[in-house]
Amino acid sequence: MTLVLLDTNAYLRLAKRITPLLGVKFGQKDYTLTILKQVEDEVHKNPRLRFLYPWFDDPVFAKERIITRVRLNKNEKEQLNAVTSVLRQHVLSNVDTYTSQGRSPPSPTDCFILAFGQIRPAIVATDDLGMHQLAKDFSIPIWHGHELLKKMLSAKCINNDLVREIYDAIETNNDLPRTWKEAKHTVFKKIFGPAA
Amino acid sequence: MRKAINTDAIRAALSKHGLTQKELANALGVSSQAVTNWLKGNDFPRPATLLKLASTLRLTFEQMVQTDNVDRPVIAFRKKGNAKTTNAHVAKAEEIGILLKPLVPYLTEQQALRTLITSPSIDYNKLKVAVAQTRSRLGIGEQAVLEYEHLIGEFKNSGAVLIPVLWGAKQRHENALHIRLPKEDITFIFLNLDTRLEDFKFWMAHELAHVYTPDLSGTTQGEDFADAFSGTLLFPRACAEPTYHEAIQQASAEGVIRVLLTHANEHMVSLNTVFQQIKLFAKSSNLVALEIDERTIHAVRNNNQGPLISEALFDPMPPEPKRFIAACEHAFQSDFFIALKRMIHESGIGASYVQQVLDTPMQDAFALYEELRH
């Protein structure tokens, strides 16, 4: 099994339309999606996210998250704390890199998610460009959300109609990341056709 | 920033986990010589290896690495009451300082010629001189009411950038945060607008004292001077002396309080500020003290609390992002949000940056970000 860890935005972009999403094995490497409790906390603490994603606390979604939640032992927590501090310090030591070319400096929670990817290990799925740069600097495996979508499509977990529906919903929410925009007519050329 | 492996911490962790240097090298996928070089300070691990080292020995960056601290932001807090400053408070403030560095090129050019107090002293007579000179430069006499505008203009003239924030009236450890970036030669001052009207001017003057004494930033001496300077600047001896004589003639404690409150209201400062300045004046002049104790002053003060600055500025609360940004630009003459807007447009940073530098809830950061982005 290869664990794939979704960050908050990646989860919110996919969870409503792909059900079940978490804990389901797919692809040759038995990819299995999961999220951390921190994601749950982030949504609960954020009225804007709760307003935009009112389905988040529906029992079906809440139950799926609880059942598939990864639990850490004491050693792993110590490792996670140590690795998070190194990642965060790297961001602060290279702050110019992390505030250019559309990147934002990964927050302590972002660093925690990447640290988890390093410890377990897991592939982190996020559209945050700062996190992608950080993962690259430390050779931590990472996917863009659209790459995850493509893997799920290839594994026939989802079909073309659902990809179209997900794109439509994200565009309607004015939430389409630049990387998804670029992938629309390249990675998903068969569905959306070439760029006009 | 120069970095070196903390040899003692690594050796102690190896011992704790029962590992040899060779076993550590194997676990990290490097040669034994590489580990030896790190421990001798001749080399430093690559990022991915440093990560494995932290994970293997379960050491945080701070435990594992020694840095020379050059260019480290200098922090000073204006704490709330008896709040205790922890290492976590300082670390978080330093992180904000580091994150503010890329914003500096987007700010308008700062004044190179600045006012400094070269021999700061908390001696009342010496303070009197420093305060008289400061008021003279601001173009106001020693008995005149020091207005917010005077203080705000002086921050601007001293290379300090004000960042008004809404951190809540109770939740925070500090009411103001002063972050000096030595290399960039700039100071950022976060002012919590969820602060009582009568206290706000004192905190602004306190922060101004820090700006005048950059070498004392982050020290207890600096805090003591800032408190002393602030009180005397707001209510100088020329104000304290007649107020003392008026108060001492009162027959009752109520009468004394009434006199002090009248002058506090006139100067828009707290009752305590006036009381403390009169106390200092009386002591320095060898005069008998007022027959009133601090407990009474605090009790009266707590019963006569004014509105929060944020309420006075933004009624109704909370302000729309547009109004909040406009107030920062106009009322506080701060170009912080102008610079942030430029940065968002030119470098494409996201709401997460705004959230981290303002240390504000994500939804507020996002609302500000959206306002600045469009």
pLDDT digits (tens, 9 = 90+) for B227-251: 999 999 999 999 999 999 999 999 9
Q: Which of A110-114, A132-136, B364-368 has the lowest mean pLDDT?
A: B364-368
A66 burial type by CB count under 10 A (0-12 exposed, 13-18 middle, 19+ buried): exposed
Give residue for tokens 């079940």.
Answer: A20
Strand ranges (DSSP E) for A22-136?
A: 25-26, 31-34, 122-125
Q: Is the pLDDT of residue A5 over 90?
A: yes
DSSP state of A72: -
Q: Residue B318: is the preceding peptide bond cis (ω within 30°)?
A: yes
| pLDDT value at residue B80 | 67
**Overall average pLDDT of the B36-53 stretch:** 95
| pLDDT value at residue A59 | 95
Q: Which residue of B has its CA nearest to A101?
A: B347
A39, A46, A89, A114, best to mutate vs chain B, most B CBs in 10 Å: A89
A48 burial type by CB count under 10 A (0-12 exposed, 13-18 middle, 19+ buried): middle
| Structure tokens belonging to residue B194 | 């969820």
Q: CA dist A158 to A10, A60, A150, A194, B195, Å?
A: 16, 19, 9, 21, 54
Q: pLDDT grade, residue B173 (50/70/90)?
A: confident
Torsion of CA A109, A114, A119, A122, to 10 degrees: 120
| Structure tokens belonging to residue A183 | 């992938």
pLDDT digits (tens, 9 = 90+) for B305-331: 889 999 999 988 889 999 999 999 999
Which letter, b or e, does each residue of B232-263 get, where b requires 16 or more Cβ atoms within 10 Å of its Cβ? bbbbbbbbbbebbebbbebeeeeebbebbbeb
| pLDDT value at residue B295 | 92
Spatial distance between the Cα atoms of A35 and A56, rounded to a whole number of angstroms = 13
Q: Which amino acid would we find at residue B157?
A: N
- Using the beta-carbon criterion (under 8 Å), do A81 and B1 form an inter-chain contact? no
DSSP state of B250: -
Using CB atoms, which residue from A49, A104, A137 is nearest to B352? A104
Which residues in A lie closer than 8 A to residue B351 (C-beta atoms)?
Answer: 104
- Using the beta-carbon criterion (under 8 Å), do B362 and A45 form an inter-chain contact? yes
Strand ranges (DSSP E) for B80-211?
A: 160-165, 174-181, 186-192
Spatial distance between the Cα atoms of B307 and B309, rounded to a whole number of angstroms = 6
- How many beta-carbon pairs under 8 angstroms link A with B? 102
- Using the beta-carbon criterion (under 8 Å), do B47 and A137 form an inter-chain contact? yes
- Using the beta-carbon criterion (under 8 Å), do B351 and A79 form an inter-chain contact? no
| pLDDT value at residue B69 | 73
Query: How close is the nearest chain A Cα to the Cα of B123, in Å?
Result: 41
In this prediction, what percent of chain B has a pLDDT beyond 70?
A: 98
Which residues in B lie closer than 8 A to residue A86 (C-beta atoms)?
Answer: 50-51, 54, 60-61, 64
**Overall average pLDDT of the A121-132 stretch:** 95
Which residues in B lie closer than 8 A to residue A81 (C-beta atoms)?
Answer: 58, 60
Most confident of B167-181, B297-311, B338-352: B338-352
How would you classify the pairing of strands B65-67 and B74-79?
Answer: unpaired
pLDDT digits (tens, 9 = 90+) for A57-88: 999 999 999 999 888 899 999 999 999 999 99
Q: Is the pLDDT of residue B171 over 70?
A: no
Which residues in B lie closer than 8 A to residue A96 (C-beta atoms)?
Answer: 101-102
Q: pLDDT grade, residue B168 (50/70/90)?
A: confident
How would you classify the pairing of strands B174-181 and B186-192?
Answer: antiparallel
Q: Is B4 on the interface with A (CB under 8 A)?
A: no
Which residues in B lie closer than 8 A to residue A83 (C-beta atoms)?
Answer: 51, 54-55
Which residues in B lie closer than 8 A to residue A105 (C-beta atoms)?
Answer: 99, 352-353, 356
- The conformational region for residue B79 under phi > 0 = left, psi -120 to 50 = alpha, else beta, is beta
The residues that bridge with A125 in the sheet, in sequence order, are A6, A143
pLDDT digits (tens, 9 = 90+) for A14-37: 999 999 999 999 999 999 999 998
- Using the beta-carbon criterion (under 8 Å), do A82 and B59 form an inter-chain contact? yes
Examine the predicted complex and report whether its ipTM is higher than 0.90: no
| pLDDT value at residue B174 | 77
Q: Is B48 on the interface with A (CB under 8 A)?
A: yes
- Using the beta-carbon criterion (under 8 Å), do A102 and B347 form an inter-chain contact? yes
Q: Comparing C-alpha atoms, which of B32, B22, B94 is closest to residue B62?
A: B94
Q: Which amino acid would we find at residue B58?
A: R
Interface of A with B (CB under 8 A): 42, 45-49, 75, 78-79, 81-83, 85-90, 92-93, 95-96, 99-107, 110, 118-119, 128, 130, 137-139
DSSP state of B196: B
- Residues B208/B176, Cβ–Cβ less than 8 Å: no
Q: Which residue of A has its CA nearest to B47?
A: A138
Query: Residue A54 belongs to what H/E stretch?
Result: none
Q: Is the pLDDT of residue B81 over 70?
A: no
Q: Is the pLDDT of residue B192 over 70?
A: yes
**Overall average pLDDT of the B31-49 stretch:** 95
| pLDDT value at residue B309 | 93
In this prediction, what percent of chain B has a pLDDT beyond 90?
A: 76
Q: Residue A59: is the preceding peptide bond cis (ω within 30°)?
A: no
SS3 call for A33 = strand
Q: Is B171 on the interface with A (CB under 8 A)?
A: no
- Residues A105/A130, Cβ–Cβ less than 8 Å: yes
Q: Is the pLDDT of residue A162 over 90?
A: yes
DSSP state of A58: S
Q: Which residue of A has its CA nearest to B364?
A: A48
Query: How close is the nearest chain A Cα to the Cα of B106, in Å?
Result: 13
| pLDDT value at residue B113 | 75
Using CB atoms, which residue from A83, A103, A107 is nearest to B55? A83
**Overall average pLDDT of the B101-124 stretch:** 88
Q: Is B356 on the interface with A (CB under 8 A)?
A: yes
Q: CA dist A167 to A55, A126, A146, B12, Å?
A: 18, 16, 10, 53
- Using the beta-carbon criterion (under 8 Å), do B353 and A105 form an inter-chain contact? yes
Q: Is B106 on the interface with A (CB under 8 A)?
A: no
Q: Comparing C-alpha atoms, which of A34, A111, A40 is closest to residue A80?
A: A111
The answer for B 58-97 residues in CB contact with A (under 8 A) is 58-62, 64-65, 95
